[in-house]
Amino acid sequence: MALSPENALFNKYEVGKLLGCGAFAKVYHARDVATGRSVAIKVINKSRLNNNVVLENNIKREISIMSRLRHPNIVKLYEVLATKRKIFFVLEFVKGGELFAKVAKGRFSEDLARKYFQQLISAVSYCHSRGVYHRDLKPENLLLDENGDLKVSDFGLSALGDHVRSDGLLHTLCGTPAYVAPEILAKRGYDGAKVDVWSCGIVLFVLTAGYLPFNDPNLMNMYKKIYKGEFRCPKWMSPDLKRFFSRLLDTNPESRISIEEMKLDPWFRKGYSEVKSESIGLVREEERKLQNLNAFDIISFSRGLDLTGLFDGKFVASEDVDRLTAEEQPETVMERVEEVVKAESGGLQLRKTKECGMELEGQNGDFVVSLDVYRLTDRLVVVEVKRKAGDATAFAGLWNDKIRPVIQRRPETTN
C-alpha cells in the first residue's frame, strides 16, 4: 500500500509494492513526491546485521562504488538515507526486470544477444576505467529498462583497485559458481578485469545458447569442467561467434581476450558504437554528498550504525533452528565444533554429512541436530543448526554455552 505524501519516507518518497527480497535487504517501488519520478528503494534493516565488520564494509563499499559510477548501462544510485534502524538506497527504477527472466523463455538471436553484450561490455569497460571490478556478473544482476536497454546492478561483491595486494592481484573468493573464472578456483590471486571478462563470456553463452556452458548437478564436477574449460558450442552458432567464445572462455587469463581486443573482433564490433557517460564532475559531487552524510553519522559505520543481531537470539528447542554469522573459514568452523564435541562427555556422537555439514546425536538418540556451514562472502559464513529428531532441550545448553561462543570467537590478527 502506498503512503500518502505527508506520511512519505523522509517526506520525499511514497513507498509502494515490494519488488524483491534478499538475505539482508528488501527492494520497493517508490515515487518521488516532488518530481513524480519512479525509484527503487533498497531497505537494509540494521537489526539483520550482526555487528560484523565484513558486512559493514560491504555496504560502505557498495555505496562508495555506486556513487562514482554514471553510465547509461549502470543502475544509478541517487542518494542514501538512514534512520536509527534502517538504511535506504534510493536507486534508479528499472522497469523491465531481470534479463534472466527474458532468456529463461528461450535463447536470443545473435543480433539481440550482441546488442545486450555490447551494452554490458560498455558498462564493464567503464567500471574498469574507474578501478571497479564487479565480480558477480550474471543475468540475474542485469536489468532491462522500458526501452529494452541493459542496466548492470548489484555491486555488493565488487572490488576497488585499492583492494589489490602487493602482487597486483585480487584474492577474494566470491561470485556465483557457474559464472566464476577458473583462476578464482585456483586460489592463487586473479586480475579483476579478466574475471569480469570471463563472466561476460558466460552471460553471452547463456543468451545465445539458452543454457550454461559449464553445468553439472555436482558442484565439484562443474568446477572441474570450468577449470579445464570443457564446453561445446551448439551447432546453430555462427563460426565467428564460436571463435569469439574460444577467446572469451580461455582458461588462461593471460591469453584471454581483453575488452580492447573485443572491440576489434568481427562478431562484436558489428553495429557497435561507444557510449558516452556522464562527466566525472557529477560523480565527484555525488561522492561529496555521501561523504557529508557520513560526517553527520547518517550512515556512520564506526559509531552511528547500531549493528545488533543478524541472526539474533539463542537456540530454543521449540523453534528448531538457529543461525549465526562468523568471520571465519568454513573448515575452521567445522574444526572448532569437532573440538568441543571431543571435549564433551556424555555420549555425544558426531557424523559428517558433507564437506561443511555434520549431524550431532545425543546419548541414546535423545536428540539429533544438523549443523551446516555456508559461505556468504570470502571471510563470512552462515552457520545453521537445526533440530532433526528428538527433544533438543539438552542440546540447547551445549550450543548456547559452548559451541556458539567458540564459533563466534574473533580470529586472531597480526600487525
Tell me the C-alpha distance between 328 and 389, whole Å.
29
CB 199 within 8 A of CB 181: yes
Q: What is the predicted pLDDT for the residue at 213? A: 94
Residues of the chain with CATH 3.30.200.20: 5-93+280-295
Residues of the chain with CATH 3.30.310.80: 317-407
Residues of the chain with CATH 1.10.510.10: 99-269
Q: What is the predicted pLDDT for the residue at 169? A: 41
Tell me which residue of 343, 317, 344, 330 sits closest to 382, measured CA to CA.
Answer: 330
Quote the cell numbers at residue 165: 595486494
DSSP for 372-406 reads EEEE-SSS-EEEEEEEEEE-THHHHHHIIIIIHHH
DSSP for 136-178 reads ---GGGEEE-TTS-EEE---TT-EEGGG--TTS-B----S-GG
Crossing angle of helices 192-209/239-248, nearest 10°? 150
pTM confidence score: 0.64
Task: Break the chain down into helix, strand, coil percent, rounded to 5.
Answer: 40, 20, 40
Q: What is the predicted pLDDT for the residue at 281? A: 39
Fold of 317-407: TATA-Binding Protein (3.30.310)
Q: What is the predicted pLDDT for the residue at 97? A: 82
B/e letters for 16-36, b = 16+ CB within 10 Å, e = fewer, are eeebeeeebbbbbbbbbbeee
Give bridge partners of residue 152 from the DSSP assignment: 74, 142
Fold of 99-269: Transferase(Phosphotransferase); domain 1 (1.10.510)
Quote the cell numbers at residue 58: 560491504
Architecture of domain 5-93+280-295: 2-Layer Sandwich (3.30)
Residues acting as catalytic residues: 136
What is the mean pLDDT for each group of 10 consecutive residues in the chain (415 residues)? 59 89 83 93 78 67 80 90 84 88 91 96 91 84 92 69 44 65 77 90 95 89 89 94 96 94 94 69 40 31 29 49 77 90 81 85 83 73 81 78 82 48
Classify residue 273 by burial, with Cβ atoms within 10 Å: 0-12, 13-18, 19+.
Answer: exposed
Q: What is the predicted pLDDT for the residue at 51? A: 60
